[in-house]
Amino acid sequence: MHSLIGSVFMKELANDILLKKGDSAVFNIGKSKLAFTTDSYVVKPIFFPGGDIGSLAVHGTVNDLAVCGAKPLYISLAIIMEEGFGAKDLSKIVMSIKKAAGSSGVKVVTGDTKVVERGSCDKIFINTSGVGEIYYPGLSADKIKTGDAVIVSGPIGDHAISVISKREGISFGTKVKSDSASLLRLIRKALGSSREIRFMRDPTRGGLATTLNEITSDRSFGIALEESQIPVSEGVREACELLGFDPLYLACEGRAVIVVSAKDTGKVLRAVKSDRFGRGAAIVGRVTGEYKGKVYINTRSGGKRLVDMLSGEQLPRIC
């Protein structure tokens, strides 16, 4: 996917905003600084423990704006569904969208609906776009410095395991629910606690490992992770052992990666932990001058290994 984006889309469409490769495009209109984002959701199955495709679409768009330091204001909703898609399921999804938008304080202000022939898509696909106003300017990977701390707001991998367990009918000793949630309040608390937050992102496709590799790519620093500090729930750990997955590459839909100066690490961590979606937050690593442009992990056994960008899709159709 990274190769495709670089060789096709960036090659032909590159501009100063797109080249920043942020979760949202950030630009000025008059005296306002705005963030704009879009994403499409093709998750299978469309209902899973902890959420559904409707709430997932809203949370994903809202969180992409929030990690850019923006207050989400408006979203669009475009739905493509197969002929014969059940009215009951559609109503359930729309109600889920309404609830997620309401709790996030955003309005659905425009949209589109298309019906295609049976078999042309898998039940229903959703695209959402969102606009928000920046209130914490300057968040950028270019601001990251050696010595900064990397915080993850909670256990990783719950969303991916929730979806795959439902899809494949696999049960584990501990039930795993998706972490899909709006992070607006958590992020406001974090940003309100410090002016030393450098960068934020939500680790969706490709998980924590891919997100951190995107941060370090072609930059003059590396990131050192501490394996013993990375929060992973018992259910996700069990699933990974059974299925051979690495939790570092599993998608999250309700987690934030926060890079903050060393001196403000403690108060940002406390602010995140004060939110109900951040109680499992942890400092998982540091920005280092070693292995520039790379991510590596200090293992429990005392060794080191490089954490590369995920090659291929570990789990397809999870968002």
Task: Map tokens 């039930």 to a residue.
Answer: 175
pLDDT in tens, 52-69: 999 999 999 999 999 999
- Confidence check: pLDDT of 317 > 90: no
pTM (2 decimals)?
Answer: 0.94
Task: Map tokens 């996700």 to a residue.
Answer: 236
What are the C-alpha distances in Å from 110 to residues 115, 217, 316?
17, 36, 29
pLDDT at 233: 96
Phi, psi for 98 (deg, rounded to 5): -60, -45
pLDDT in tens, 68-122: 999 999 999 999 999 999 999 999 999 999 999 999 999 999 999 999 999 999 9
Instruction: Classify residue 64 as exposed, middle or buried by CB count within 10 Å of its CB (0-12, 13-18, 19+).
Output: buried
Alpha carbon distance 99, 93 (integer Å): 10
pLDDT in tens, 181-222: 999 999 999 999 999 999 999 999 899 999 999 999 989 999
Phi, psi for 299 (deg, rounded to 5): -80, 165
Average pLDDT, rounded, for the chain: 95
Domains in the chain: ranges and CATH? 2-134 (3.30.1330.10), 141-306 (3.90.650.10)
pLDDT in tens, 302-315: 999 999 987 766 67
Q: How many CA atoms lie within 13 A of 115 on its CB side?
A: 7
pLDDT at 272: 98
pLDDT at 312: 65
How much of the chain exceeds pLDDT 70, in percent? 99
Residue 14: other Cβ atoms inside 10 A: 11
Confidence of residue 316 (pLDDT cuts 50, 70, 90): confident
What's the mean pLDDT in 173-177?
83
SS (H, E, C) 22-89: CCCEEEEECCEEEEEEEEEECCCCCEECCEEHHHHHHHHHHHHHHCCCEEEEEEEEEEEEECCCCHHH
Under a CB-based contact definition with an 8 Å cutoff, are residues 176 and 48 in contact?
A: no
How much of the chain exceeds pLDDT 90, in percent? 86
pLDDT in tens, 117-164: 999 999 999 999 999 999 999 999 999 999 999 999 999 999 999 999
pLDDT at 10: 83
pLDDT at 6: 80
What's the mean pLDDT in 280-307?
96
pLDDT at 313: 61
Task: Map tokens 């929060």 to a residue.
Answer: 231
Crossing angle (nearest 10°) for helices 87-104 and 53-66: 20
Where would I find the H helices in the chain? 2-4, 10-13, 53-66, 87-104, 158-168, 184-193, 207-216, 234-243, 265-273
